[in-house]
Structure 1
Amino acid sequence: MLKIESVQVSYGAIEAVKGVSMEVRAGEVVAIIGANGAGKSTLLKSICGLEPVVGGRILLDGEDLARVPAHRRVALGVAMSPEGRGVFADQTVRENLLLGAYGRRKDPVSVEAAIAREFQRFPRLAERQHQLSGTLSGGEQQMLAISRALMSEPRLLLLDEPSLGLAPLIIKDIFEAIRQLRRSGLTILLVEQMARQALAVADRAYVLETGRITLEGAGRALLDDAKVRAAYLGAH
């Protein structure tokens, strides 16, 4: 579904992503792990059109996205739940979800069905649907960010650090939601610092270090890799 070929992304003279190549097949969960500053979030932003690439190609079902603006990529089936959640703080939970479905606004019946589905996925959102999103807890905001991305009915969901800053019980809920989405057949590209949880849920994974892919393989295989364990899992 997604093929990245020698992609380069720069911030001025600083090359943040250095010729990365990878792929995501339909129905897979693929994880990208790596330290802070490795280029993980920059790579996701380049896929959804928030960072321009200076070299290489990003192909979605064979179509080069290089000149496709971000809003058109949503229409093509790409949606992202960003690092830091990025909820619209002065809008209610329900209004955030409606904004996520903006491209489908001419079909209100299906939009309402999608909202009901997300309230079933995360019952806390249903309880707080008329509450301003800025007053939610961090975990509730993360649930909202994921649900808002799903409101566009994407074929490819990009999740950027969904566990960041959350309590262990909330992290467990978030990863259970990822497993449910996987079972539904949704294709997911997951960037996550909690490497153990990411590798456990992923079909395949890539290790990104200073803008380059240094290792790739099945999620379970990388869990047992000595270098990965030493660098990211606190094991030797």
Structure 2
Amino acid sequence: MRNDSILKLDSVRVSYGAIEAVKGVSLEVRRGEVVSIIGANGAGKSTVLKSIAGVERVRSGSIEFNGQRIENAPAHERVKLGIALSPEGRGVFPDQSVRDNLLLGALCRSLSPGDLSARLEREFQRFPRLKERQHQHAGTMSGGEQQMLAISRALMSDPSLLLLDEPSLGLAPLIIEEIFETILKLRDTGLSIILVEQMACNALSAADSAYVLETGKVILTGTGKQLLNDPKVRAAYLGG
């Protein structure tokens, strides 16, 4: 893991109407590390990711990516800068083929046919089931296969920061294990990852650093190992 920062949030606030969902969150992501964000439902975890991706507007505070302020940049510009979101619920286009879903992930890049084919093949090698089902409608695949597709679609833009929102949601244990193995392999290539995950033990085990959110505020931070062994975290999120 390198020590240089790729992303910094400083006192970020996000509101839905009169309701403030994120209340002054500050966090940092370094190059080539997994940062996990855990917390109860409604803690603001997904909203933090959406604010980074540009899907939700920041009311105040700053977001700095590779030294550049981006809190006012539109979402598509953030993709071009190197930020990609794999959303909660996967968000695949059900009536489009697996292949077309993947191609949409690279839409913001001006790629030659050869480069586009190379990226497709890279993702097919990462998740061979996607290659087997490349001409199948995405909506007819299992939840685990759709999650693989959502991750690969995000990776088609060749990001330097990948935002993963609840990648294990509703999946079988063996598929969850495969997804987390993929996350660690991606980290080992130098990719920076922010992981929002309800399965706190998995999230902290994979994390280089981690944050605990409660009602829109960071209440605890540390390495993944430190939080795994923290009595308060264990009591609240790890069942013991």
TM-score (norm 1): 0.98
Q: Equivalent residue for 2:3? A: none
CA distance in 2, matches of 1:176, 1:62: 30
User: Which one of 89, 92, 98 corresponds to residue 94 of structure 2?
Assistant: 89
What is the CA–CA distance in structure 1 between the aligned matches of 2:88 and 2:191, rounded to whole Å? 20
1:101 corresponds to which residue? 106
TM-aligned CA deviation for residue 108 of structure 1: 1.8
Q: Is 1:19 paired with 2:24?
A: yes
Do the aligned residues in 2 keep the contact of 1:92 with 1:133 (CA within 8 Å)? yes
Instruction: Compute the displacement of 1:105 (Å).
Output: 4.2
Aligned residue runs from structure 1 range 106-125, under 5 A: 106-125=111-130
Q: CA deviation at 1:111?
A: 1.3
Equivalent residue letter for 1:206: Y
Give the 5 Å matches for 1:1-236.
1-235=6-240
Distance in 2 between residues matched to 1:153 and 1:33, nearest whole Å: 26
Contact 2:83 2:162 in 1 (8 A): yes
Task: Report if the CA contact (8 A) 2:9-2:64 is conserved.
Answer: yes
Segment drifting more, 38-47 vs 97-106: 97-106
Q: Secondary structure at the match of 1:117?
A: helix
CA contact (8 A) 1:208 1:214 kept: yes
Any gaps of 5 or more consecutive residues in structure 2?
Answer: 1-5
The alpha carbon displacement at 1:4 in A equals 0.1
Deviation at 1:106, TM superposition (A): 3.4
Which residue identity is paired with 2:66? D
Number of aligned residue pairs: give it. Answer: 235
1:66, distance to aligned residue in structure 2 (A): 1.9
**Deviation string, structure 1 residues 126-168 (Cα, Å, up to 9, x no partner):** 1100000000000000000000000000000000000001111
Decide whether the 8 Å contact of 1:105 with 1:111 is kept in 2. no
Aligned residues with identical type, % of pairs: 69
TM-score (norm 2): 0.97
Q: Secondary structure at the match of 1:66?
A: coil
- Give the Cα separation in 1 of the matches to 2:234 and 2:117: 44
The 3-state SS of whatever aligns with 2:108 is helix
CA distance in 1, matches of 2:203, 2:116: 30
- Structure 1 runs of 4+ aligned residues shifted over 6 Å read none
Counterpart Cα distance in 1 of 2:109 and 2:69: 24
Q: Aligned partners of 2:174 and 2:138: how far apart in 1?
A: 21
Amino acid at match of 2:80: A
Superposed CA RMSD = 0.7
